[in-house]
Amino acid sequence: MSKTAPHISLKTYFTVFAALMILVVVTVWAAGLNVHYTGFHTFTAMTVAFIKTWLVVLYFMHVRYSSTLTKLFAASAFVWLLLLFSLLFADYFSRPWLPVSESWANPAGQSHVDLSAPAHMERGAETHND
């Protein structure tokens, strides 16, 4: 039995399950907190979600008891996810920081172009209303 599947006590499973239940309560409670720092709610919600994922991956999915190669494969999934998000947001978040020449910022004599959102998104908002 120990040759194929790891043997983990039922107590471990129930403890992890109890922790997951508590974290569900925490995430709902935190979402209702009257805090107005930008990104606070997203940050706490995602932090709790990653803690829950960590518990499920390590114990329910047995990664803690698996070979180093399996650990590497499991971790690689999240590393690629991190690359996807960091490169995508590095692009979009940094767009308003760039110095823009007058001809770009003022293409058709408009007084102001909001570079915080891509132009096509803003146009879509106007023409497809409803």
Partner 1 sequence: LSEHSSILAHHFDDLEQQHEADTLGMWTFLATEVMFFGGVLAAYALYRHYYHSAFVAASGQESIVLGCTNTVVLLCSSLTMVLAVHSASEGKRRGIIFWLFMTIVLSLVFFSIKAIEYGKVFDHGLFPGLWNPTEEARQHLAHVDLSHVRIFFCFYFACTGLHALHMIIGVAIILVLMYKAYKGRYTAEYNNPIEMFGLYWHFVDIVWIFLFPLFYLVDRSGAGH
Binding site for partner 1 (CB under 8 A): 1, 3-5, 7-8, 10, 13-14, 17, 20-21, 24, 27-28, 31-36, 41-42, 45-46, 48-49, 52-53, 56-57, 60-62, 66-67, 69-70, 73-74, 76-78, 80-81, 84-85, 88-89, 92, 116-117, 121, 124-125, 128-130
| Residue 124 to residues 71, 120, 129, Cα–Cα distance (Å) | 44, 6, 8
Residue with smaller CB distance to partner 1, 106 or 116:
116
| Residue 91 to residues 46, 85, 88, 95, Cα–Cα distance (Å) | 21, 10, 5, 6
Residue with smaller CB distance to partner 1, 37 or 102:
37
Residue with smaller CB distance to partner 1, 103 or 127:
127
Residues 6+ apart with CB under 8 A from 116: 95, 96
116: helix, strand or coil: coil
